[in-house]
A and B are shown apart, each in its own frame.
Chain A
Amino acid sequence: MIKRAFLASLSVLGLLAALTGCVDPRSQAHAVYMLIDTSGTYARESGKARIIINYLLGTLQSGDSLAVARVKSRSFSEKDIIAKVTFDTQPSQVNAQRRVFGEKVDKFLKTVKGSAYTDITGGLIQGAEFLNETGAGKKTILIFSDMQEELDKATMRSFPISLKNIRVIAVNVTKLNTDNIDPRRYLGRLEAWQKRVEGAGAIEWKVINDIERLEAIFSKG
């Protein structure tokens, strides 16, 4: 009887040890990279960006990563990352990290200046690079923008990009004056981005315009 129980517990322990060895902790982590458009009139939407960041800070858990970067004339640069954090494994430390992160973002949003051009593609490439480096199992890029890309003549972005295994979510995609005249422009813009993002290997493309429905960021489909 004792021998049988001992053997059973030994096999359970072995199984647990094998499982522990198999699962990489990072593969369960969630990494989010948020791009904030600071071009022209969209800079006025920064208050909504704060709400989204607060939601992310409240939802992401220990081991998850979050980075907030600005989209300006040329966004493919680490310097455009305003704040980044990988939450500690201890929940009590996470609260302090949240506070520090929030303060950094607040400081940026108070001093944000509008840029002449909007390099969303550069931001996407930078975001994909950051997310791949985190090694997280679930990777999401949030684009807080009107999705109207404007590049200067010297900036080259017309090449295929890779967004493999990354979810791309456009948030608060506001309508431009021209969209109001012809809504097809707005729909066409979104369709073009969907095609480009999915063509780059993204696993999901989603548009969330209602910031009361932010839980859709982490839900599938």
Chain B
Amino acid sequence: MTAVLRAQGLGKRYRRRWALTDCTLDIPTGRVVGLVGPNGAGKSTLLNLAVGTLTPTSGTIEVLGGRPASGAAQLAKVGYVAQDTPTYAGLSIADHLRLGAHLNPGWDGALAQTRIQQLGLDPGQRAGKLSGGQRAQLALTLGVAKRPELLILDEPVASLDPLARREFLQDLMQAVAEQELSVVLSSHLVSDVDRACDYLIVLVESRVQVCGDIETLLATHFRLSGPRRDPTTLPADQQVITASHTDRQSTLLVRTEAPILDPAWTVSELTLEDLVLAYMSRPTAADRNVRPVLEVQR
């Protein structure tokens, strides 16, 4: 049992709308997982299901081998920093730390104190007076000092300026290195998190489009460009993710385990951003049935 998060046909419906559909995942422990997708794709829904603040409409989800929020032991294992890193505006930093100590059995008071000191924050200051970056750092401090096995962060850096973003990720990575922490963090921009993460989930329109170890993903996706060609004539082991054509040329983004041997193609590697954008811009299943992949050339 080494899965930090395991989902089987997981789905969540709000009234008529499915926010998450048929989600099947198996994420190993010790990873920093980037959950990437446009706004409204279902990222927060998936994270809330993992934390246990939402219950599934269909399927199952297991976090660190247990059902989310199923008891005190399970709650102690999972830390959660919600979107926009909320804190209590009227409470001081010291109050927040006291609250953390009372609410969490495994609370690491020394770690929390040290972090607040390193950040140069005044413990007497109210959270409402902190800058966005400082508030995010306070929320991270609470999440880390809880000493969870899994820390879940929903869009932690979206509202931060570049410097605060970098400082936040530096501190998060340091915590990962020190505490053998698994992390799942969501973002609508892959460039925000690509260096911090080693595992990726791309979620678009309530469905997981691609999921896996980032290095493996980069090693199995290529851009091919060459003379115009119908993608259906490619070898069976090359899965076309996106295709664009001019009257002479075809540019394909393919996923394949095998080397590409056809000399007609110019093969280039992708950046993580290219890869994510390809999956995001890929026509959804419904579109694909209507539109022919390549119209007949006259």
A and B bound? no
Interface residues of A (CB under 8 A from B): none
Interface residues of B (CB under 8 A from A): none
